[in-house]
Chains A and B, each alone.
Chain A
Amino acid sequence: MGWSQVSYHYDGSFAGFLCCVFEAYLHKEAPACFLGPEDGRLSLWPERQISTDEAHAKRVYRSLDRSLGAQGRRLVVYGFLTCLPEREMALWAFLRLGYERGPGVVRDLTDDRVSTLNKAVQHLTGEAHLLKGFVRFSEQEGLLIGEIEPKNRVLPLLRPHFCTRYSGESFVLYDRTHGEALFYRPHRWAIVPLAEFRLNGPAQEEQEYRRLWRRFYDTISIAERYNPKCRMTHMPKRYWGTMTEFQREQEGLPP
């Protein structure tokens, strides 16, 4: 291609990434790697610091719809939330291809650049769908509090669902993996970084509901059909840690 290879330092945000794309096309550079703020890697290529400029980010964002279509834009926006290793590089490869080929590119599922991104996005949306069910809230003084440990950054995908469902409530949903929390009180929401998150012990009523739920969970299963493998297929063990039905209170309550 003749574009020189450069490694980009950016602030780790989606807008920052779009600015990298802007700069790459401006200077005719091919990013060889993307480094976020906390990335300690050293690179072999010349480095360039990209500062986030809202106007540039918007220009690139607007180009997504035009050049890649609504589906292509969705792949890029969601792709940034996935846990794909080197996701920026995968996105960059997809964008290069997309700007060249237009909206039809999303149909070319046998192309590696498209299928890699597609699979990562499927993983993200799949995990978000599971978590819509697996999230557990506890009540503390009228506030609902939940914690999750997902692989992908699912909070933006969970937000519309929970904000609609609990539109009259106030809640906090904390993502341990990425240190982010979704805050909601009627008709206002925010997703903010949050380094630490600690819960008080459950109150009387909360404990009562947990006990009822655990009892229901244990009762509803049919012993003659015991099938732990099937349960694990549908509900992988990595989700169990934050689910009420698998937690036993410390005080040695009867199960």
Chain B
Amino acid sequence: MELLDKLTILADAAKYDAACTSSGVDRGARPGGLGSAMAAGCCHSFSADGRCISLLKVLMTNRCIYDCQYCVNRRSNDLPRTAFTPWELAELTMGFYRRNYIEGLFLSSAVWGSPDRTTEAMIQALRLLRQEYSFHGYIHAKAIPGADPALTRQLGLLADRLSVNIELPSEDSLARLCPDKKKRAILAPMAQIRDGIQVSRGELVKYKHAPRFAPAGQSTQMIIGATPESDKHILTLTQALYDKYKLKRVFYSAYVPVSDSALLPARRDFKPPLLREHRLYQADWLLRFYHFRAEELLDEANPNFNPLVDPKCSWALGHMEFFPVEVNRADYEALLRVPGIGVVSARRILTARRCGPLTFEGLKKLGVVLKRAQYFLTCSGKMLEGLRVSPDGVLRHLVAQERPMLAQSVPEQLSLFEQTG
């Protein structure tokens, strides 16, 4: 088979993986080698669906022994099957990387033979790339659940980031849709990677040249909308993953119908729940950068996000006693809770107010967007002049502001998908 066809098949099989980040590690060049990595990550292109293309995202092979219902590569699906040889993959990566098409390689695989054999094939390809070709760019590798821990360790020594997909948000769904995969088998490598990273960090403090195990951390992803879990369940799970497994990122992937299985939503008329995915990412950001907890955002009475306003607005409207926040006195955490003020704006406010009191005019000059924030702020004790809104009116105004964005998205599309981070 020609390389072009192989690439088409194996990229097509990998495209449902949401993660394409190249962040988390800074690395300069090494003599005789090619490549570097930057902690902020770097997007090299954006595909027609608006998602970032940072890494050459392919499978080692799409031949699979499993029959997971939601997966396009399940063995019962009638698809052309193929596999890269390690040399093909290394040549392709180097060729793309030299032309600055990509930031590195994202290598995943269907499970062919056994988890061990699959992992060995991936290790062989990565070792060729790192050692023979002296490639120092970014590598993200999928750890295969059920593989020997010694093999996962070798994989982590070659890659920058490892990920194990949790696949579905609950054990029940997992048992129903992919009877071959067990929750324990997924969580075991996750724990192993977490411990490996911790040990490696400790060693690096003592010895400069200690081997680096997954220096850019680990991530995971789950499919949203194929199974009945609530947003609350998903967000609580996400928080637990961040707390317990020290993940860098949790990715959500809106289910795109790839199967006619009776266990899944019917293919006809099914729209991927993109707005829901968007709201979950917004909440995920609140957990990671805005000091929110899952239980603050959703509770038993409201187990799902309001599609009309973003999660932070939603929280603010339920906690009006927290507002208004005084721009000139509030601390960083309080500023972060104001809808419309993000990490950058909050930092700028802290910097600028050292030079004198801020006014609404001043906030605009800082680049703070007042569209939403105006309802929740005072500057030196005063609300924005001319703003006459009763507390009940705020929700109406916020919803009205968000509506144009929602309106143009008849098939639930938004233009604010998350970037590399």
Chain A residues within CB distance 8 Å of chain B: 104, 107-112, 115, 119, 129-130, 132-139, 144, 146, 161, 164-169, 209, 211-213, 215-231, 233-235, 243-245
Q: How far is the CA of A147 from the CA of B106 in the complex (A)?
A: 27
* Contact B351 A136, beta carbon cutoff 8 Å: no
Q: Is B321 an interface residue (CB 8 A)?
A: no
6 contacts between A and B (CB under 8 A): A104-B354, A108-B355, A109-B365, A167-B33, A221-B47, A222-B16
Q: Is B45 an interface residue (CB 8 A)?
A: yes
Q: A109-B365, A109-B366 are in contact. Are A213 and B351 (CB under 8 A)?
A: no
Q: Of B91-99, B147-155, B231-239, which stretch is located at the interface? A: B91-99
Q: Is B230 an interface residue (CB 8 A)?
A: no
Closest to A254 in B: B4
Q: Is B103 an interface residue (CB 8 A)?
A: yes
Question: How many residues on the B side are at the interface (Cβ–Cβ under 8 A)?
Answer: 66
* Contact B415 A222, beta carbon cutoff 8 Å: no
In the complex, what residues of A have CB within 8 A of residue B371's CB?
none
Contacts A104-B354, A110-B358, A227-B413 aside, 16 further interface pairs with beta carbons under 8 A come to: A107-B352, A109-B348, A110-B352, A110-B366, A129-B42, A146-B100, A167-B31, A220-B11, A222-B256, A227-B48, A230-B414, A230-B415, A231-B46, A231-B49, A233-B415, A235-B45
Closest to A162 in B: B100
A-B interface pairs (CB < 8 A), number: 174
* Contact B365 A110, beta carbon cutoff 8 Å: yes
Q: Is B51 an interface residue (CB 8 A)?
A: yes
* Contact B49 A225, beta carbon cutoff 8 Å: yes
Distance to closest chain B CB from A82 (angstroms) = 16
In the complex, what residues of B have CB within 8 A of residue A217's CB?
45, 47, 53
Distance to closest chain A CB from B137 (angstroms) = 8
Within 8 A of A (CB), among B361-385: 361-362, 365-367
In the complex, what residues of B have CB within 8 A of residue A138's CB?
99
* Contact B415 A229, beta carbon cutoff 8 Å: yes
* Contact B50 A230, beta carbon cutoff 8 Å: yes
* Contact A220 B53, beta carbon cutoff 8 Å: yes
In the complex, what residues of A have CB within 8 A of residue B3's CB?
212
In the complex, what residues of B have CB within 8 A of residue A243's CB?
45
Closest to B136 in A: A165
Q: How far is the CA of A104 from the CA of B353 in the complex (A)?
A: 12
Q: A144-B98, A169-B98 are in contact. Are A219 and B48 (CB under 8 A)?
A: no
Among all A-B residue pairs, the 7 with the closest Cβ atoms: A230-B50, A221-B47, A110-B362, A225-B49, A227-B50, A133-B44, A167-B29
* Contact A133 B45, beta carbon cutoff 8 Å: yes
Q: How far is the CA of A235 from the CA of B254 in the complex (A)?
A: 23
Q: How far is the CA of A95 from the CA of B331 in the complex (A)?
A: 32
* Contact B95 A209, beta carbon cutoff 8 Å: yes
Q: Is B12 an interface residue (CB 8 A)?
A: yes
Q: How far is the CA of A231 from the CA of B45 in the complex (A)?
A: 9
Q: How far is the CA of A119 from the CA of B365 in the complex (A)?
A: 10
* Contact B42 A230, beta carbon cutoff 8 Å: no
Q: How far is the CA of A246 from the CA of B7 in the complex (A)?
A: 19
Mark interface residues in B133-167 (1 if CB within 8 Å of A CB, else 0): 00000000000000000000000000000000000
Choose among A109, A137, A166 the residue that contacts B352 (Cβ–Cβ < 8 A): A109
* Contact B92 A234, beta carbon cutoff 8 Å: no
Closest to A135 in B: B100
In the complex, what residues of B have CB within 8 A of residue A219's CB?
7-8, 11-12, 15
Closest to A167 in B: B29
Within 8 A of A (CB), among B218-277: 254, 256, 271-272, 274
Distance to closest chain B CB from A247 (angstroms) = 13
Distance to closest chain B CB from A218 (angstroms) = 8
* Contact B48 A226, beta carbon cutoff 8 Å: yes
Q: How far is the CA of A188 from the CA of B398 in the complex (A)?
A: 56
* Contact A220 B47, beta carbon cutoff 8 Å: yes
* Contact A225 B53, beta carbon cutoff 8 Å: no
A107, A110, A138 interface centre (most CB from chain B within 10 Å): A110
In the complex, what residues of B have CB within 8 A of residue A169's CB?
34, 98
Distance to closest chain A CB from B136 (angstroms) = 9
* Contact A212 B45, beta carbon cutoff 8 Å: no
Q: How far is the CA of A166 from the CA of B12 in the complex (A)?
A: 30
Q: Is B1 an interface residue (CB 8 A)?
A: no
* Contact A139 B98, beta carbon cutoff 8 Å: yes
Q: Is B52 an interface residue (CB 8 A)?
A: yes
B101, B272, B365 interface centre (most CB from chain A within 10 Å): B101
Distance to closest chain A CB from B112 (angstroms) = 21
Q: How far is the CA of A188 from the CA of B365 in the complex (A)?
A: 42
* Contact A134 B415, beta carbon cutoff 8 Å: no
* Contact B11 A168, beta carbon cutoff 8 Å: no
In the complex, what residues of B have CB within 8 A of residue A221's CB?
15, 47-49, 51
* Contact B49 A227, beta carbon cutoff 8 Å: yes
Mark interface residues in B70-89 (1 if CB within 8 Å of A CB, else 0): 00000000000000000000
* Contact A213 B48, beta carbon cutoff 8 Å: no
* Contact B15 A213, beta carbon cutoff 8 Å: no
In the complex, what residues of B have CB within 8 A of residue A130's CB?
43
* Contact B42 A133, beta carbon cutoff 8 Å: yes
Q: Is B419 an interface residue (CB 8 A)?
A: yes
Distance to closest chain A CB from B389 (angstroms) = 26
Q: How far is the CA of A233 from the CA of B52 in the complex (A)?
A: 11
In the complex, what residues of B have CB within 8 A of residue A244's CB?
99, 101
Distance to closest chain B CB from A67 (angstroms) = 17
In the complex, what residues of A have CB within 8 A of residue B56's CB?
216
* Contact A108 B95, beta carbon cutoff 8 Å: no
In the complex, what residues of B have CB within 8 A of residue A228's CB?
48, 50
Q: Is B305 an interface residue (CB 8 A)?
A: no
Within 8 A of A (CB), among B27-75: 28-29, 31-36, 38, 40, 42-54, 56-57
